[in-house]
């Protein structure tokens, strides 16, 4: 019985020793954090409507079929100041843009919310638009109410 308690105590001590030695301090910021983290000044923002069409068909002897489809998407292109002081031009679908009206905002800003970035190749730094397309969940644009144009046509407006 004493031997079992002694072995258990040795295992517990070894576990605590390993856990104590493996503390490396805080994790370094991820590449996504280094690029997307914080609030960024907006320089220019435009809305763009794209229409994507596709057609497919197949025929065998006298029997066949043909199908077409069209999809309209609205994207927002914007120039934003990165953490290193340079400006990047990026785009996001309109559905991923949220607007926060704040009359105290002297300069329009954008803040990104993203899911964690895990690179299969740790040495590779991702392109900014690749981060936008793959990891950004949404972006919050903070702007004064008078700087945000409203083009809403409701029956009540007529």
> Could you read off the pLDDT of 55-73 as tens digits, one per residue?
777 776 666 777 777 788 8
CA distance 43 to 27: 32
| pLDDT exceeds cutoff 50 at 79 | yes
CA distance 135 to 117: 7
Residue 25 binned pLDDT confidence (cut-offs 50, 70, 90): very low
Indicate the pTM of the whole model: 0.64
The whole-chain average pLDDT of the chain stands at 77
Positions of E strands within 7-152: 39-60, 63-81, 87-93, 97-101, 109-114, 136-143
- Give the domain ranges of the chain: 29-48+76-149
Using an 8 Å Cβ cutoff, are 151 and 108 in contact? Answer: no
138, β-bridge pairs: 113
| pLDDT exceeds cutoff 60 at 29 | no
Is the sign of the CA dihedral 75, 90, 143, 46 positive or negative?
A: negative
Percent of the chain with pLDDT over 70: 66
Residue 92 binned pLDDT confidence (cut-offs 50, 70, 90): very high
């Amino acid at each position: 019985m004493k031997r079992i308690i002694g072995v258990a105590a040795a295992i517990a001590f070894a576990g605590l020793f390993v856990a104590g030695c493996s503390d490396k301090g805080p994790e370094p910021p991820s590449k996504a954090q280094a690029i997307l983290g914080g609030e960024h000044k907006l320089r220019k923002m435009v809305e763009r409507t794209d229409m994507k069409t596709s057609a497919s068909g197949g025929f065998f002897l006298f029997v066949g079929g043909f199908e077409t489809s069209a999809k309209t998407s609205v994207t927002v292109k914007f120039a934003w100041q990165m953490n290193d002081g340079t400006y990047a031009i990026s785009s996001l679908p309109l559905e991923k843009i949220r607007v926060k009206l704040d009359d105290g905002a002297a300069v329009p800003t954008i803040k990104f919310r993203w899911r964690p970035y895990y690179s299969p190749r740790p040495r590779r730094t991702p392109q900014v638009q690749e981060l936008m397309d793959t990891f950004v969940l949404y972006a919050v644009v903070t702007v004064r109410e008078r700087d945000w144009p409203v083009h809403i046509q409701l029956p009540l407006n007529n």
